[in-house]
Structure 1
Amino acid sequence: MIGDCKMDIFIFFILGTLFGSFYNVVAFSLLDKGQENLKHILLGRSHCPNCKEKLSVIEMIPIVSYILLLGKCKNCKQSISCYYLLGELITSVTFALLYHNFGFSIDLLIHLTLGSLLVISVITDIKKRLILNKLLIVFGAIILILRIVLHIALDFYLLYYLVSGFVMFLSLFLVMVLSGNKLGGGDVKLYGVIALTIGALDAFYSLFFASVLGLLIMIPGMLLGKVDRKTQIPFVPFIWIGVLLTYYIDVSAYLL
């Protein structure tokens, strides 16, 4: 039984690498060419971003191909962005952890949808400090539909999650306004979707985790004079970690 569970987790890890490869293409294509490139995303064949040579089957194997080719194109020998490896790794970790937590369920599908949004947003935030509205709308709509389905099928707390999304968005919107836009509008909207998925309480906990992690990363740079209060750092990677931590750390148990 334990062996079967580990195998299922491994399968979801591998599945995550495949989706991660696709999410990389989505993130880079939307950042570079916008919505008109969606058809190419869905139907086009992967190619080297430098020489445009179409990739062979071996070159399209997630993670493994990047390592074997030392992060370089087989044809032109130019370096390929490490973002591709990053996207595949964090997606595989996300899928494996979520399956470990939820097993096969509608809940798993809902949280995989959020996980996918976070993964793509990690890439876009690191690359260009952007959280794309079109992604928030699409993934938020999918999560809302799944929440409604879960409510109809199992009478499962729809109102709580709807209120959570609204309260989280409104709270962080006020923080953004009162702080003089020190909190990004993309982060505010993203947290509305996060709260719709995991509820307001866990969303606030994830924000706490993300803020602590971000501060720990910034402190050494501030002490060395390389980072100051005006330095912009991508916050979504910390949000991604913060959300995953809420699945495994029951903060409420420590507060009671």
Structure 2
Amino acid sequence: MILQLLFCPILFSYLYQLCHVQSLKLNYLLLRSRCDYCHQQLKFINMIPILSYMMQRGKTRCCNHKLSCFYIIGELLALLPTIIHTYMALNVNYAMFLLIYLFLLVFSIYDIQTLTLPVHVIIIFIFCGTFITHGNLYTFLYIATLLHIFYFIFYQVIGYGDILLFSILSYLLPYTMFVSTILMTFLIAGLFALVCMMVFHQANRKIPLVPFIFIAFNFLIIFNEPLI
């Protein structure tokens, strides 16, 4: 249980900083973590999830720069899969749930910050997904084709990264859950956009979509949508 609680935040931190790597090489996977600012190699005590952030008071120990609050937010949220799996009787494949949860969490935070998705991490997501499951190839080909047609017609209202992510989910998720996820995503995102328009009077404000995919996915999991 303790090892699982540590594993998820560590994996989140690794994937999150991987998003910010501009040119990914294979030897990067073997390197020690470095400071985001001065690039000094981090000591083990600086890489303990949550605790190191709190002990350092949200700053780097090496150069005293303020750390992004998304580290602590993401590491805390990364604890939830283990807690949910341990204390709730869910009809899920835990490895698949963990894979999708962590990557959607990382993509959500990166999307909030940049309104983009890192292509190299998407490729890693695809590789991990195909390694864990055989997936739904025919559903993927059908859905991915429709999504790309939709994008080429309405490219101004949705990002291509979102299209890629939906395509991957169509391969990984059962068909009914995928359809439920995409419908709930746009329902929640639409309500949020409506509230923003009414409160902030910003009708053309760009809204990151991946956080709503993340929320929809977890809502369906908690309410026992099967993930086999």
- What TM-score does the superposition give when structure 1 sets the normalisation length? 0.74
- How far 1:175 sits from its partner (Å)? 2.7
- How far 1:183 sits from its partner (Å)? 1.9
1:122 to 87, 92, 108: 108
- How far 1:180 sits from its partner (Å)? 4.2
1:62-73 map, 5 Å: 62-73=49-60
Give the RMSD, CA atoms, in angstroms: 2.7
Give unmatched runs, 5+ long, in structure 2: none
Residue 191 (structure 1) aligns with: 166
1:209 aligns with 2:184: yes
Give distance in 2, aligned partners of 1:98 and 1:167. 32
Residue 207 (structure 2) aligns with: 233
**CA deviation map 1:21-69 (0-9, x unaligned):** 211221122xxx2224x523x2222232223333333321111221232
Residue 72 (structure 2) aligns with: 85
1:156-195 map, 5 Å: 161-195=136-170
Secondary structure at 1:224 match in 2:
helix
Residue 24 (structure 2) aligns with: 35
Greater Cα offset, 171-180 or 233-242: 171-180
Q: Which amino acid in the other structure matches residue 27 of structure 2?
A: K
CA shift in 2, pair 1:12/1:186, >3 Å: same
Aligned residues with identical type, % of pairs: 21
Secondary structure at 1:35 match in 2:
coil
- What TM-score does the superposition give when structure 2 sets the normalisation length? 0.82
Number of equivalenced pairs = 224
Q: Which amino acid in the other structure matches residue 25 of structure 1?
A: Q
Give distance in 2, aligned partners of 1:57 and 1:51. 17
* Contact map agreement 2:19 2:118 (CA 8 A) in 1: no
Residue 137 (structure 1) aligns with: 123
1:56 aligns with 2:43: yes
CA shift in 2, pair 1:44/1:142, >3 Å: closer
1:244 to 191, 199, 218: 218
* Contact map agreement 2:18 2:121 (CA 8 A) in 1: no
Give unmatched runs, 5+ long, in structure 1: 1-7, 149-157
Secondary structure at 1:247 match in 2:
helix
Query: Which stretches of structure 1, 4 residues or more, deviate above 4 A after TM superposition?
Result: none
CA shift in 2, pair 1:142/1:59, >3 Å: closer
- How far 1:184 sits from its partner (Å)? 1.7
- How far 1:190 sits from its partner (Å)? 0.8
Bigger relative contact order, structure 1 or 2 (CA pairs below 8 A, ≥6 apart): 2
Give distance in 1, aligned partners of 2:42 and 2:74. 18
* Contact map agreement 1:15 1:95 (CA 8 A) in 2: no
Give distance in 1, aligned partners of 2:72 and 2:46. 13
- How far 1:251 sits from its partner (Å)? 7.2
Give distance in 1, aligned partners of 2:19 and 2:156. 25
CA shift in 2, pair 1:34/1:233, >3 Å: farther
Give distance in 1, aligned partners of 2:91 and 2:200. 44
1:24 to 12, 16, 27: 16
- How far 1:207 sits from its partner (Å)? 1.7
- Which of 1 and 2 has greater Rg? 1
- How far 1:226 sits from its partner (Å)? 5.0
Higher helix content, 1 or 2? 1
